[in-house]
Structure 1
Amino acid sequence: MAKNRYDQAYESFKSLSNSKLIDIGDRYYDKEVMDSALICYTIVSRRYDTHMPHEDKKLSAYAYMRLGNIHYIMYNYVQAQDMYLQSLEVCKECDLDSIIPRVYNNLGNIYSSFNDFKKAENYYKQAYKNSQTIADSSLSKIILNNLIGVYCNLNDNKTLKYYLNLSDQTLKDSNNDYFNISAKGVWNLNEGNYPTSIRYQKRALHLADSLHLDPLYECSALTNISDAFMNMQRYDSAECYLLKCADIAVENRLLDMQINIYRELSYVYNIQNKADKFLHYTKLYQNINDSIKGMRGYRSIKNVEFLFEMNQIDKQITAMRMEQLLKDARYANQQLILLIVCITLAMITLFLILTYRQKHQLQRSYKDIFKRNQEIVESDKQAKQRDLKYKEEIKKKDESIAQLQQQIAELSIDNVDDPELPANVEPKPNGDPPQKYQGSSLSKEQKEQLLQAINEVMDNTLEFCNVDFTLEKMAYLTNSKTKYVSQIINEVYGKNFNRFVNEYRIKEARSRLMNTETYGNYTVKAIAQSVGFKSNTNFNQLFKELTGITPSMYQDMAQG
């Protein structure tokens, strides 16, 4: 049934934030509902992670400290020490100065419970040293009182005096501080100033009553007064104060105090030779001692049961924490994968956009190039037409001039007896062409005539579209020699014969690709062959070099 109750508590708490759990845990702690408080603090402590926010780390350290307090109250000192040490580890790792002195003080309390006051002294000193850095006067006062208590138990009057003076300097009204007054009484007791010690302890007794302190403090003052009277060998007075202390201890069920008082009373009555009272209190001492052992055994059993239940809850919380960590890790991996996918998609999208824009710009550039080529083709066409027109006009004028010269010649024959021709009339050629390009070089006039002949072949015929159009063929058509043809082409155009011819072929191919009516059904390869290219690869390379786009793109744009 208890397990079900703890399970229900855990289920209701596990989804709450750390700050909310600490708040609920503190309320349970103040009401002394320690099992529910322990569940709240355990959940917070198990959530600790080195990467969590600083405020959550502080709450985890606080939770560990509170867990230590609960185990301390339940007399589970080993577990309490473990919780305090874990709290201290978190505090040091995260520089949580506000919690460190409290943890050191609590560790000192554990060793004080075992009367190991030297060990307790070390922890209290650490606590007091660290408390000075956080300016918490109330905490410093508690730690200072614990140090004073340690030196009272160690009978170290020199150090006790030092801390009493420090307490006087720290406290605003040391005369109304129970611990300060009681410690001064102990110091005087150790110094042998018994009357002074009694006055201080009576003052402490009055403060415990007026300030409504725990009855344990009244008992402490009464036993200190009794000790002073016993040192003065005033056993009746010692007996009186011990009996008062016994009444308070019995009324408030302070068993540990009762056993000490009954032992002291047995000692007093033994000195006074009061056998009946000695036996009575000796028996009470033994009964209380047995009762305490029984209660400690019962308490130990209850603590074992409580610890078992809490360990089960702790295991469950740890398992849930591990499950949550795995979920967080999977979620983080999923987020990382999603981020990578998003980045990849973004990069692909950006790449596609850039590719599209580049392609669009490229297509626009190709269209501009095509348009420019169209203009060039049209310009070449118009230039040829003008050239033909001019040649036709020149031919007609030459014919008119020849007729006029013929008429002049006939008139001259009729009017002049001299058979010689007029000086301004050129003799007719004898029908055989003059022998050209004799010698190793051409004259300027011969070069111009040969250039004109070459251009005539290239501009007004399609001889170059034949696959077998060679330098020898050109020399034959121009009635010249191959070396002169090659010389003129190289000097005038700065090219070799093949390059010169292939550029004309590309011009013709460009025109044919534009002529969709006649060559619309031709493939690029067929066009290349029709203008004299044997290799389609060479045609494609040279076409792109001269026009800026491939022949297939050129054809698509022409047909589009």
Structure 2
Amino acid sequence: MVTPLKTIKWFSKIICFLCISNVCVAQKSNDFKIPDSLADKSYTYLFGQFRKNYTDTITSLLYLKTSLAKATKEDDKLKKAITLNTLSAYEEDKVEKIALIKQAVLESEGLENIELIPVYTNVGGIYHDYYEYASALTYYLKALELSEKFNIEEYRYIILTDIAKVKEGIGKHDEALTLYRKCLNYGNTKYPNDTIRRITNVINIAESLRNNKKYDSASYYYNTIVNIAYQKLPSYGRILSINEGINQYYQKKYLDAEKLLTKGASKLEMNPESQTYYIVSQIYQGKLQQLQYNNKEKAKAYYLKVDSIQTATGLIIPEISTAYDFLISYYKDKGDFKKQLDITNKFLKLKTVISSRHIQTTDRLYAEFDTPQLLKNKQALINKLENKTNTTTIYLGLLILGFLFLFIMQYTRYKKHKKRYNTIISNLNKKEKETPVIEDKITPTPVQKLNIDEAVITSVLKKLKTFETKKEFLQTDINISILAKKCNTNTKYLSKIINIHKGKSFINYINDHRIDYILKELKENSTLQLYTIKSISEEAGFNTAESFATAFKKKTGIKPSYYIRNLKNEPII
């Protein structure tokens, strides 16, 4: 969900025009001729006049185009970047808007200037508005680097808020919450009387707390600011009401949730930011009709309104999946296959965009939605609509056979993975019950097989035992050279001893111990199960999530995500 707009000091200096309507900048800079009256004017004068006349679109564009033409003629890359960045707000078309900001970034290459901070921040903001989080983060980090270089604390916390929104957008709610807390503390300390800053910070942190399922804390922050927000910024008060309504929904206080959602959405201004909150309010109103009143017709009305707004605005919000999921089921039950197909197509498009932009929803159901299955259902609907002949029965039979074949494949795969999972758990349980055996003596392989002195082999095996006991294999930088030094031998001898006595290569020896360790830790530590795969891989000593997943699958035959998901579903004893 999009979070509230930032209040920033440079807003009026560089991009104060963001509040006015978008206007297409059709005329290219190389077609523009500087008026004689402005030919000798400075950039300070041109931007001063632009800020003074920003409500007059034609006049403000004249000053901006003059600035761009002047900067182009003088090859002033900094001024070109700033002006192109400013002009981007007037461009309505996405392709043209991005072309302008890309040109602004191109002009800024190699420059380090404080005036580029709002340029990069705006570029990141535009990409964020289009849900292109990877690109947004790139430019937020550029802006952050400059703010730290020039030691501008105010900018730093503005950008930290932006980065938190990116983290929120890709599902890293706990990391986003940490950043929001820093920004809130900074604002309360540095600007205790800045009411607008406080309202926006509290909205951010209350919403993030809700996403982290800390509902009581979210309500606490809501109650500290809601009355002030309605007095100072009623639109933000309504956003707070919608957020708290959703919070109450998850606490199963459905009547309170309905009142707050209705209050928040009733007079919400329909600007781009508020539209997102309005859509989400209607989604949860639909959910309430289902859960509280079991009224499918009213739920449908809310969800159709959501579909209508999404179609008109193109907003891609993960929560919309709820509406489309309901409507597909609704029209299927009614036998209205044409409408079911239409909603299915929209749902597929939505999920494709969400997947490509790495937006993760907090709803596990939609995170695990089987897109290939949805495609098969789509084809089945097309067949039903197009097939008006006596061959319907044949096609239906083939369709049933196809689903049956798919079911058998999926079930076989499920049983295989479940068996592997049960074997892992069984082995872990056995190890917990086993009494440790103290080995007084290590009996090495005959010396002639290794061509290494028996005393050396015995010494190395003992040191490997200590290495395993101390779990030193969890060190991310461990390699055969480091381990050889620990064992007072050389890499050649160590490799041979591990190959013969452990029955595997050095890499597999280390990785297998790491996987055995993390299997046990995940089973016993429910908190660790909530970590990201990347964080879990680091706990196991791997440098990357990819190498961890590969080693895990190689040893266990299942993916880490499957193992963790089954652990979460295990009954608590």
TM-score, length-normalised on structure 2? 0.43
Which protein is richer in helix relative to its size?
1
Instruction: Say which one has the larger Rg.
Output: 1
TM-score, length-normalised on structure 1? 0.44
